[in-house]
Amino acid sequence: KAGVTQTPRYLIKTRGQQVTLSCSPISGHRSVSWYQQTPGQGLQFLFEYFSETQRNKGNFPGRFSGRQFSNSRSEMNVSTLELGDSALYLCASSFNGAYNEQFFGPGTRLTVL
Amino acid sequence: GIQVEQSPPDLILQEGANSTLRCNFSDSVNNLQWFHQNPWGQLINLFYIPSGTKQNGRLSATTVATERYSLLYISSSQTTDSGVYFCAIGGYQKVTFGIGTKLQVIP
């Protein structure tokens, strides 16, 4: 069974631009969660999507958004990028959400200049 | 929300030594996982262990849910064990991570 894939793996953007990251979960998994990892804040929950609906959201500004498609693939978008958005963005796949075992993708490393 | 505390924050071991990492949590849990984050950022699943004891090679884990802690044991450490170890708790609709234990195994 293929693991969780994330694209792209690396991104360099400038302040003010927007970016879209993609995550394909494990086949059969319906939940995709997104996390931001920075040296100062650790791993922070962004949001979770389940069956194309956002089920929960962390404490991030509205510039961070996401969606999920009918095949469970998910995208997250960050608009009006700020220097502080530089981070490793990780997505996690699970069958049914936080109560189930989570499997992580390799991450997308975003650098904002 | 649920609080997750990991200790120690940093650990340096000589190759071949044993170690115990601890995770304390503030509420009852339905899901507890241990991860190893390698130098490239990949989070690798070690254990899914909301309660009880599991072993996988040189690694084992024990969760005592009634006392709200989990332990990860690493025996005969190797340099490839270096990295950050995270405990993650699944609660209502989201997973909360501890700050991690940064392990360095020196030859």
In which band, very low, low, confident or very high, does the pLDDT at A97 lie, cut at 50, 70 and 90?
confident
Nearest to A56 among B41, B86, B94 (CB): B94
What is the model's pLDDT at position B40?
Answer: 87
In which band, very low, low, confident or very high, does the pLDDT at A2 lie, cut at 50, 70 and 90?
confident
**Token pair of B103, please?**
């392990």
What average pLDDT does the segment B71-93 reach? 93
Q: Who's near A39: CB < 8 A, 6+ residues apart?
A: none
Q: Is residue B70's pLDDT more than 70?
A: yes
Pick A89 or A56 by higher pLDDT. Answer: A89
Sign of the alpha-carbon dihedral angle for A109, B101, A60, B27: positive
What average pLDDT does the segment B87-107 reach? 90
CB contact under 8 A, A102 and B42: no
Nearest to B93 among A88, A97, A109 (CB): A97
Q: Who's near B66: CB < 8 A, 6+ residues apart?
A: none
Chain A residue at shortest CA distance from B89:
A98
C-alpha angle B81/B85/B87, rounded to 5°?
A: 145
CB contact under 8 A, A98 and B42: no
A46, containing H or E segment:
strand A42-50
What average pLDDT does the segment B44-63 reach? 97
CB contact under 8 A, A55 and B93: yes
Among B40-49, B74-83, B84-93, the range scoring the smallest mean pLDDT is B84-93
- How far is the CA of B94 from the CAs of A40, B12, B36, B79, B90, in angstroms? 21, 32, 19, 33, 6
What is the model's pLDDT at position A1?
Answer: 66
